[in-house]
Amino acid sequence: MTRFDPPLPFIDLAAQRRRLGPALDEAILKVVHAGAYILGPEVAEFETALADFCGARHVVSCSDGTDAIALCLMAKGVGPGHAVVCPSFTYTATAEAVARLGATPVFADVEDVTFNLDPAGIPAALATARAAGLEPVGVIPVDLFGHPADYDALAAVCAEHGLWMLADSAQGFGATYRGRRLGTFGFATTTSFFPAKPLGCFGDGGAIVTDDDGLDAVLRSLRFHGLSADRQDNDRVGLTGRLDTIQAAVLLQKLAIFDDEIAARGRIADRYAAGLADVASVPTVAADCVSVWAQYTIRVAPERRASLAAHLKAAGIPTAIYYARPVHRQGAYAACPVAGNGLPVTERLSTEAISLPMHPYLDEATQDAIVEEVRAALA
């Protein structure tokens, strides 16, 4: 018997929309009527609000989370011959931004507990890059599934080797590392407002957070076709990389409830852990960190994963596998160097990880039913 018919949503954006109510529709209509569709007043208002939210000097909004990374790399002059260390156990976009500029992603392994880039694996990645005739220039850690990467340890390794660090917080934006909101680790932090991310808009969008005044100016130029400061010239090659005014209006409404949503996500994660820790490997967050739980990803024995997914699907409970095919196994990246003797943790996680429904509007009765079905499937 199907327990949930129609099936549950994996992420319930409709519940969030109901909560935000007519104010959201009015904010969108206001932009439609005002007509400033590109860089209207809501864009600057949102950038200021987001900078305040994470205690940073600047936010440059942009077209999406991949362009956010690419814009930072363009500002750094990254190009052919350069190697950038990234995890392979992540969404494709991290490496894609590097490859698209002609530079080479070099894949390094992740930590077993946090799923995030292992600082101890970076020296091997640098050696691999040099052996391939590449110059390592930087590292892009990812806050996978919403858990902050180990920024202090990563920053120490980067400093030791003369590398910059760029934080890809597309999944972790809003999280806290050692009492500080993500956004001010590395030379810049990027995020995505893809609808399914913890802070999402109604389309594509992204942002870059930085404390660097000079970088802020360069990024504003790059996202607008390389427009010069006096707006009389185009003195660099840029992108059509702006955030739409309508999306900024949506994001202003969503940012107002984001802290409350982060707290709800934390409560739901705690309930999942309490209900499942004895039947599956449940995710943990470092003691002095707050995750935004972009995903709730458990680990099961590889031979049980498909049957768990099938059992839940039959009950009307969706699951997702992030990531069955790590980036170094994807066609476009198969020729990129892999650090040291391969990525054993990445390979193992790709066979064990399975993500359960996770969003701030998952009520307790529904969550209890999900826990019950997971337990029944794994019994």
Ligand X SMILES: *Cc1c(COP(=O)(O)O)cnc(C)c1O
For ligand X, the binding residues (CB under 6 A) are 64-66, 90-91, 93-94, 142, 168, 170-171, 192, 194, 204, 206
Distance of CA 5 to the CA centre of its chain: 31
C-beta of 53 vs 194, nearer to ligand X: 194
Dist. CA 313–CA 177, nearest whole Å: 35
Query: Position of tokens 């996500």?
Result: 265
Tokens of 80: 């052919």
To ligand X, the closest distance from the beta carbon of 322 in angstroms equals: 9
To ligand X, the closest distance from the beta carbon of 204 in angstroms equals: 6
C-beta of 195 vs 316, nearer to ligand X: 195
To ligand X, the closest distance from the beta carbon of 186 in angstroms equals: 14
To ligand X, the closest distance from the beta carbon of 222 in angstroms equals: 16
Terminus-to-terminus CA distance in the chain, angstroms? 18
C-beta of 61 vs 176, nearer to ligand X: 61
The closest of 186, 204, 201 to 141, measured between CA atoms, is: 186
**78-107 per-residue burial string, b: 16 or more CB within 10 A, e: under 16:** beeebbbbbbbbbbbbbbbbbbebebbbbb
The closest of 169, 158, 171, 176 to 108, measured between CA atoms, is: 158
C-beta of 47 vs 204, nearer to ligand X: 204
Count the Cβ atoms, other than its own, within 10 Å of residue 215.
Answer: 19
To ligand X, the closest distance from the beta carbon of 265 in angstroms equals: 16
C-beta of 192 vs 350, nearer to ligand X: 192
The closest of 163, 149, 151 to 83, measured between CA atoms, is: 163
C-beta of 219 vs 315, nearer to ligand X: 219
CB 231 within 8 A of CB 93: no
To ligand X, the closest distance from the beta carbon of 197 in angstroms equals: 6
